[in-house]
Structure 1
């Protein structure tokens, strides 16, 4: 009977062990475990290098061989049992380690979900009803048909990045960013962000009377989105004009007082007025540029006209195509009205911007005049200082001569009574002569 090596385990199933011969069982198991194939037909004694029992020795030799085979089988069973026990322990340890690892992973796992922003807005509908509601970004995008990047211009949290005025036209909405006013105008409603800001309050005050049917006076009503756009532009222009009316009298008063009255308070008021004019001119200029860009792009104006209608724009010719001819005619008339509306507010914005620039130029000219006046005064002071320095130099020369005679050394002049008066007169005449000589020199060099 062939012996089984300790490195290759026994077949686990008893049925396979009884059906297949032992060599085939060993080959099958070793191939599955990828172990080297053992040498069959050798006993444990032969593998240890001992001599094999000879058949000539008779029955004792055969009995000894049978006993060795039985011992080898028992040894193999013990080794297989130990290996199976070790495998079970290893699998148990691996399972326990995996359980501990999964427990640590579950304990250390932290959810990193980002909180979706929620906006508090004022909703104004076409019938004039006003309500305050909270809407998430997902709901806002779903209801307005906008994309995520479109909301950057009206997001209140990005007001530092989006300070430039803008009017973006999309398929189902118009996004307004005019200073502190940020709104999304749709076909039947408008959502106002930062409704407590000055721009939002003025916009609401101008929009609500326009939606009242009593204020139409029997005339044709404009589409809701055009009412919103006009109210937004009007609120922005009126705010700029009010600031201009507040700054203009103050600047005119300062221009009358200066440059005769140069005090710290007057100069501080001039600085603040100039700062206000710079800010006003910058805002009016940005709004003017936005209106110019919108007027130069008829595609955007036509997109406003077809909003809420069964109309499309041809991609090649950019002409309006409507399913109902009457809607096309109305849309073309609205296009002309929008152009006239934008042109009107552009003129008002240019007037405000031009007046602010003129006042700013006057303030800058006054600053230049003040600078020249102060420079003239500093020049006069410098001339006086130079004359005093020349006189001091001449007197210092006379003091030097007097110091020489005061050294208590005999010069044979102290015995003469006329020496004192002659020396004093010479010092005075020399100082005056030196002063006039220096003065004439400075005049010739155009220093004084």
Structure 2
């Protein structure tokens, strides 16, 4: 069995692929019979776990879930992967009793309620405590201290594989040398690595949605297919979930930017060194959060725009389907009208089909007259029905009472004319109809001031009695 030294391990933050360079002497060995093992002069705790064989090819995607495995949830302990102050992984999936863990880090039981091994990660959060920062974003649940980072293990296999990639990225970020002369604090580097990983997954998921949904929308412009509509419904639900997820993450970052106390509380190193911070000293972490807030806001805007395009397409499709449905109904009505015309045309000849004397059999013009009269009746009925149908077709929202009102014989009451002189209204010639009509109505108050004063005086006297 051959063993080779794996050189040039490239770990990319924006990619989920690791690239290995294989020595030339092993390039001709078949992959079906040869196993290549990792070996390094200064192995890290993660690479020391790589005892599984890999195929000798130029670019491979190793199964990261072999290193960060999903665990079984347990109420008595928490499982964490620990990074030290130098960025080295000191322990993988170490179990801590919950009460000891809470006392050691100065936390409350409610703080672990959303950061435990639960696979439910709908509501994100970044909570600043006295000695640490609790982060719950997508698949990453972490506790960041001034000189240590604890990554909580998960019970979801997919999240475990993503968490394995994040562990590599975080190790590279924490071990990165300072080349610019500006030293970023340990907790800020860890937080930035978490935000980079989260934004990378959001961007990759958004690109998938844009590609798939855009293709479906472009196909629907050419042809409305039932299968495409079904796929659009499924993808729109997934896009809505992504939009809600990105919106919640943006709101979490926005809440942090609005809270000056939390921004100052994120300087854990300065607090451990006993330095006093003013409210104006939070510029570094504020710029860090603003950069990723803008990036997350861009994802929210793009997903919202795509959702609006899907809704517009659904409305247009519904309008087209309604128009097609109306066309089918119109065609059915036309067929019914023609059928009614032929039926009316055959009624009169049917009477003459009876074996009874009608004194027209001997007439030379009887057959032609009956036929012409039947055709005339059929054409008249058909024409009348088509005229009514055209009146219904021309019915619009702006003019709903023109031909439709005439077709249905709907009559509206005329508008009442303004009464100039109210006394003239009661001086009409009495009639039975007018007496009945005014008996139903309430009496009007007189408009004359003298009569009005007299009525008020009479009412007051009645109350005194």
State whether TM-score is above 0.5.
yes
Larger relative helix fraction: 1
* Structure number with bigger Rg: 1
**1:118-143 alpha-carbon deviations (Å, 9 max, x no partner):** 22222222222222211221221122
Q: How much has 1:378 moved relative to structure 2?
A: 1.5
Q: How much has 1:353 moved relative to structure 2?
A: 0.6
Q: 1:175-254 maps to which residues of 2 (within 5 A)?
A: 175-194=134-153, 197=159, 199-213=162-176, 215-217=177-179, 219-254=181-216
Residue matched to 1:145: 106
**1:199-247 alpha-carbon deviations (Å, 9 max, x no partner):** 523432321111214x433644422221221111111111111111112
Q: How much has 1:150 moved relative to structure 2?
A: 1.5
Q: 1:313-332 maps to which residues of 2 (within 5 A)?
A: 322=274, 327-328=275-276
Cα 1:334–1:200 change in 2 (3 A) is farther
Given the alignment, which residue of 383, 388, 391 partners 1:441?
388
Cα 1:178–1:421 change in 2 (3 A) is same
SS of residue in 1 equivalent to 2:184: coil
Distance 2:140 2:211 in 1: 28
Cα 1:400–1:447 change in 2 (3 A) is farther
Residue matched to 2:245: 283
Distance 1:227 1:334 in 2: 17
Residue matched to 1:397: 344
Residue matched to 2:222: 260
Normalising by structure 2, report the TM-score. 0.63
Given the alignment, which residue of 317, 322, 326 partners 1:375?
322
Given the alignment, which residue of 117, 126, 141 partners 2:85?
126
Distance 2:198 2:272 in 1: 32
RMSD: 2.5
Q: Does 1:342 align with 2:304?
A: no
SS of residue in 2 equivalent to 1:412: coil
Distance 2:192 2:349 in 1: 91
1:126–1:188 contact (8 Å) kept in structure 2: yes
Q: 1:361-372 maps to which residues of 2 (within 5 A)?
A: 361-372=308-319
Q: How much has 1:292 moved relative to structure 2?
A: 0.9
Q: How much has 1:285 moved relative to structure 2?
A: 0.8
What are the ranges of 5 or more consecutive residues in structure 2 without an aligned counterpart? Answer: 1-73, 396-465
1:172–1:308 contact (8 Å) kept in structure 2: no
What are the ranges of 5 or more consecutive residues in structure 1 without an aligned counterpart? Answer: 1-114, 312-321
Residue matched to 1:319: none
Q: Does 1:173 align with 2:132?
A: yes
Bigger shift: 338-347 or 235-244?
235-244
Cα 1:152–1:142 change in 2 (3 A) is same
SS of residue in 1 equivalent to 2:87: coil
Residue matched to 1:274: 236
Q: How much has 1:175 moved relative to structure 2?
A: 0.8
Q: How much has 1:445 moved relative to structure 2?
A: 4.3
Distance 1:442 1:256 in 2: 37
2:250–2:296 contact (8 Å) kept in structure 1: yes
2:187–2:268 contact (8 Å) kept in structure 1: no
SS of residue in 2 equivalent to 1:126: coil
Bigger shift: 234-243 or 338-347?
234-243
Cα 1:361–1:301 change in 2 (3 A) is same
Normalising by structure 1, report the TM-score. 0.65
Q: How much has 1:398 moved relative to structure 2?
A: 2.0
Cα 1:375–1:434 change in 2 (3 A) is same
Distance 1:402 1:139 in 2: 103
SS of residue in 1 equivalent to 2:243: helix
Distance 2:391 2:298 in 1: 54
Residue matched to 2:254: 292
SS of residue in 2 equivalent to 1:437: helix
